[in-house]
Structure 1
C-alpha cells in the first residue's frame, strides 16, 4: 500500500492518492484531473473509488469529471444527496481496494454528511485516517458553514462535531496517521498548524479542540473568533452537489486571445470584470483603467472567491505572457468558470497601442514616515488578528475581505494611507477603491513589514471611536 499526499499550497488543500496492488482510490481530488489520469496510467492501476469527505465549500472537487473519465464510483458519507449518481455510504461501511480496506466513519459537525475514512492495511491494522474537515492539525472544521436544516444552529453543529470526535476519532490508536483536507491558510479553520501530516496521538496532546473538559467548553472555544466565511463558499457547495461544466470546456472557452482593439468592446458588451493577475509592483506602474488586481503569485484563488464572489461573473484576463492556462486553472478550482478571454499581448500591448492607462500612487515606507503626522488617516486592510497583534497607532482596521461593507464610508476628498502586511492585499484594495472613483490615497509598498522598520508609532491597543468620513 502507498499513500501520497498531493498538497496544493495556494488552496491549502490536500488530496490523497492510494494504491494497493492494481487498484487505486483518490480522496478529495482537485478540479483538474489530467495529473491523476497520467499518474494512474503510469502506475498501471485502475481507479476504483473517489472518496469525498464532504461537500467542499472552498474549492470545486474534480470528482464528477474524474468519475466520467475513469468509471470510478464516487463515495459520500451518510445523508449526502447530490444530483448525480454516487454511493451514499453507511456508517462503518467497508470498501476494498486491493489488499486494504477503507472504513467509513460518519463524523457530522462541520457538515451533516462529513465523514472520516479509516485505512485498514494489508495486515488488518488501522493505520491512517483521511479526516477531511472534521479534524485538522491544530484545529477542527468550523461548524458554521453547513446548510442548516430547520432550526439547526452553529451551536448544534458544534455539538455534533464534539460527539463525532469523542466517539469516532479520539478512541482510535495514537499511532494512526492523520491526513487532513486542509492546512494553514485555509478559511475552513482558524488555528491550523503549518504541518500537513501528523499522528493522532500528537493531535490528542496539542490540538486545543481535543482537550476541552466538556461539550459546552468545546462549543464555546470552536465558535470563538470565527470570521465570516467567504461569500463564494455556498456557490462552490452547489457546484459540488449539482455538477459542473467540464474542466476541458472551461479551459477551451477561456483560452481566447482578444486584441487590444476588441478588448474594451468585449468588456462593455459582456459586463465582464477585468482581472489583472500580474504582481502588485507591475500593476502599480500601469494598468488598464477599471481593472482589479489579484496577483497569481499569492493566495490567488481564495482572494478571487472573496472579492468577486459570483462564480458566474464573466471575466476578462490580463496576465503575464503564457500564464493564461495557469490562471484559468486556478480560477476553475474555486468555481470561476466564466473566463471569456484574455488580452492578447498583455498590458504591454495595451500600453504600446497608446490606449489610456492608470496607476496607483504607491509610496515607500520611508516616504510614509516622512509624511505621517498625528492627523494622518491610515487604513489597515489586514485580518483582525494581525491588526490586534500590532498596528500603526490610531489606524483603522478595515479588512480587505470586508471592503464591500466599508468602501462607501470612505471620504473621497480626504487623503489617507492604506497598507497590509506586504503589499499584496493593499494593492487589491487600491484597485477596487480606484474602480469606485476613490483616488485620494497612498498605498504603502512593503506594508506593515516595512513600516515596523521606521519609527512610526505603533500600538496593540484597539480604539476605533473615529469614523472613516
Structure 2
C-alpha cells in the first residue's frame, strides 16, 4: 500500500493519504488541504474519499473543503450526526480503493462516534485509529461531555474504551500497522509515544491499555491525571460536525495595518525578547516564533472562542503564516485585525536580577503556572503558588502583590505568556518572567 503520513508538529497531528491505482483517500485531514492536493498530483491520483475517524477537538479538519473542491465523498459514522453531505461508514460497510479493501470498526471511547479505518491489501493491514489507539496510550475519554451530536460522561466513555480495547482488535493480526492521529505532545491523551507508527503486536506487549486488568482498574487508570481541556476543544468539535469554511476564503478579508496602536485584547506572537523590549499595553505574549512552538494549543487555551482580539506580528511577511496557524483551530474568525507595532510609546518588561532571586527567594512571590498534573509531581520552589496558565486570566487577582512576582513554568515558553497576563491583570505590581532560567532550579 502506498501510504503517506503528514505531520503538523505544533499540534502533534498526523493525517494520511492512501493511493491505489490512481485513486486516493485522505484520513483526518488538517485545515489546509493543499498538501494533499500536491501529493495527489505528484502521484497522478484523484482524491475520491475522505475519512473522518471522529469530529476532532484539537484541530479543524478540511474534509468539507476537499469534498467541495474534488467531489470526494466523506465517510463517517452515522453516530456523528454530521451536517454536511456524507456517506455513513460503520461496521458492515466497506469500499474498494483501487486494489485496497477499506472497512470500519466502531471503536468508541475517546468519543461515542469514533471509528477505526481498516485498510487491507493482500497480507498487509493498516489501522488508522484516529484518537482511539495511540502509540503507548489510548485516547482520553473526557472531551465529549459538552460537545457533539452525542454527549457522554467520562465514566461512560472510559467503559466504552475498555470494551473497544478488549474486543474490537482481537481478530486482527500482530503485524497490522497502527497509524494514529496524534503523537507525543497532543492533549488528546496523556502518555503518547513520540513514535509515529507501531504494530498491533507491539501495542499488545507494551501499551498499558492492553495489559490484563479489570474493568475497574482500566477505568481508574484512564480517568486519572488527564491533561487540561483547552477552551477551544468544544468549539472545534462543533466546527468539524458542521464542516469548516474554505480556509483561503475565511482568511481573505482580515485587515492588516502597519505601525499601529490599538487597545483591548491583544495577542502578540513575537519572540519573548522582542516582546519584553516593547509591546502594547494589554498584550499577551503567546509566542509563535518557531514552527514547533505549541502556539495553537496555548492560543486556544488562554483565549476563549468568543473573544475577539488583535494579532501583533513582527512584519508584514509574517501575516499569512500566522493566520494560517490560527486557522488550524478555527480562530481566524476572532481576529479583528493584524498589525505591526510603532517604534515609540511601547511598554517594556523589567528583567529579573537572577542573583538576588537565587539568594533571597523569600523576597518574591513565586507563581508556578504549570498544569496541576505537573505540580502534583513536585514543585521547583517550596513556597510557590500554583496558578495553571489555563486558568490564570481568571485567578490572577488572587495573587498577592506586596512583593515582586516571579512567574515560572517548566521550560520558559509558557512563563512568557503567564507574566504578560499578570502584568495586565495586576496593575502596579512588579512582574518578572523567570523564563528558561528555571532550568537552574530543577
TM interval, short-chain normalised: over 0.9
Deviation at 1:320, TM superposition (A): 2.2
Structure 2 counterpart of 1:383: 371
Deviation at 1:152, TM superposition (A): 4.4
Name the TM-score, length of structure 1 as normaliser. Answer: 0.88
Deviation at 1:165, TM superposition (A): 1.5
Structure 1 counterpart of 2:393: 404
1:326 matched to 2:317? no
Does the 8 A contact of 1:170 with 1:204 survive in 2? no
- Equivalences for 1:308-319 in 2 at 5 Å? 308-310=303-305, 312-319=306-313
Distance between the aligned counterparts of 1:35 and 1:323, measured in 2? Answer: 20
Listed as ranges, the gaps of 5+ residues in structure 2 are none
Matched position secondary structure for 1:401? helix
Distance between the aligned counterparts of 2:53 and 2:378, measured in 1? Answer: 35
Does the 8 A contact of 2:393 with 2:421 survive in 1? no
1:445 matched to 2:435? yes
Distance between the aligned counterparts of 2:433 and 2:416, measured in 1? Answer: 7
Deviation at 1:150, TM superposition (A): 9.0
Comparing 415-424 with 197-206, greater Cα deviation is found at: 415-424
Are the structure 2 counterparts of residues 206 and 428 from structure 1 closer, same or farther at C-alpha, using a change threshold of 3 Å?
same
Structure 2 counterpart of 1:276: 268
Matched position secondary structure for 1:323? helix
Are the structure 2 counterparts of residues 409 and 20 from structure 1 closer, same or farther at C-alpha, using a change threshold of 3 Å?
same
Deviation at 1:313, TM superposition (A): 3.2
Name the TM-score, length of structure 2 as normaliser. Answer: 0.93
Deviation at 1:275, TM superposition (A): 1.4
- Equivalences for 1:297-316 in 2 at 5 Å? 297=290, 298-310=293-305, 312-316=306-310
CA offset digits 1:354-378 (Å, max 9, x no partner): 3x211222326444213423x5321
CA offset digits 1:375-428 (Å, max 9, x no partner): 532111122343324411222222211213421211234322111122211110
Deviation at 1:435, TM superposition (A): 1.8
- Equivalences for 1:52-201 in 2 at 5 Å? 52-121=52-121, 123=122, 125-147=123-145, 152-201=152-201
Matched position secondary structure for 2:332? coil
Q: What value does the CA root-mean-square deviation take over the aligned residues?
A: 1.9
CA offset digits 1:424-452 (Å, max 9, x no partner): 11110111112223432221131421334
Deviation at 1:110, TM superposition (A): 1.0
Does the 8 A contact of 2:396 with 2:426 survive in 1? no
Structure 2 counterpart of 1:340: 336
Are the structure 2 counterparts of residues 253 and 371 from structure 1 closer, same or farther at C-alpha, using a change threshold of 3 Å?
farther
Listed as ranges, the gaps of 5+ residues in structure 1 are 453-469
Deviation at 1:237, TM superposition (A): 0.5
1:436 matched to 2:435? no
Deviation at 1:172, TM superposition (A): 1.6
Count of residue correspondences: 433
CA offset digits 1:305-347 (Å, max 9, x no partner): 000021x43332211221211110110111102223322xx33
Structure 2 counterpart of 1:460: none
The runs of at least 4 consecutive aligned structure 1 residues that moved more than 3 Å come to 147-152, 364-367
CA offset digits 1:147-188 (Å, max 9, x no partner): 468994211111111111111124421111111111111111
Deviation at 1:252, TM superposition (A): 1.4
